[in-house]
Amino acid sequence: MNLKIDLKVCTEEQLWKYVASHLSKKGIDTVLVGGAVAAIYSNGLYRSGDLDFVHMSLTVKGLEEAMLELDFKKMDTRRYQHPECKHILIEFPGGPPVGIGEDYKIKPREVEFEGVIIKIYSPTDCVRDRLAGYIYFKHEENLNQAVMVAKVQKVNFAKIKLWCAGEKADWAYDNFLKKLKDSRL
């Protein structure tokens, strides 16, 4: 692996690229989802304490070995931590499929890095994912994260609005737009 990062102070984006490219080289296909995506797309305005990787096949062989090659130790059935990287955990919440609310037809953004393809939610899907936490768990911080991303990334507002309507949460889209508008004043 050519990429060198300082695990004591790395960002979510640096750690994502480091781990995802290694996993990809080992034949383990993953998509980065969750709050770390918001941290990456908000240019660090938000910081996440973990990276959630959804694996793209029903059976995953060699995951623990691949993580050990990077010196990440298994903490429990789904979480790993590096002894030098105390500020960000790695989690594998399951999968497939990758879904946002009731939408399981997610096409992740593909990024070429270190000669392999690594995957992450698109900015639009990141906003929808954060709004899902707001809709289903009433977490105001998820709404704030959606706004942070939409302030600095190009997102498809029509797709977000349509998705909110499909989740029977037009109110969430209205609150998202209001908060976004207020944040730009």
Note the pLDDT tens digit of each residue in 43-62. 999 999 999 999 988 778 99
pLDDT of residue 38: 98
Averaged pLDDT score across all residues of the chain: 95
Of 30-39, 58-67, 118-127, minimum mean pLDDT range: 58-67
With 70 as the cut, is the pLDDT of residue 123 above it? yes
With 60 as the cut, is the pLDDT of residue 2 above it? no
Percent of the chain with pLDDT over 90: 90
Cα separation, 151 vs 67, in Å, equals: 34
Non-local CB neighbours of 76 within 8 Å, separated by 6+ positions? none
With 80 as the cut, is the pLDDT of residue 84 above it? yes
pLDDT of residue 132: 97
Task: Check whether the bond before 83 is cis (ω within 30° of 0).
Answer: no
Catalogue the E-assigned strands of 34-150.
50-55, 73-74, 79-82, 85-94, 109-113, 116-120
Would you give the DSSP letter of residue 100?
B
With 80 as the cut, is the pLDDT of residue 95 above it? no
pLDDT of residue 53: 97
Confidence of residue 29 (pLDDT cuts 50, 70, 90): very high
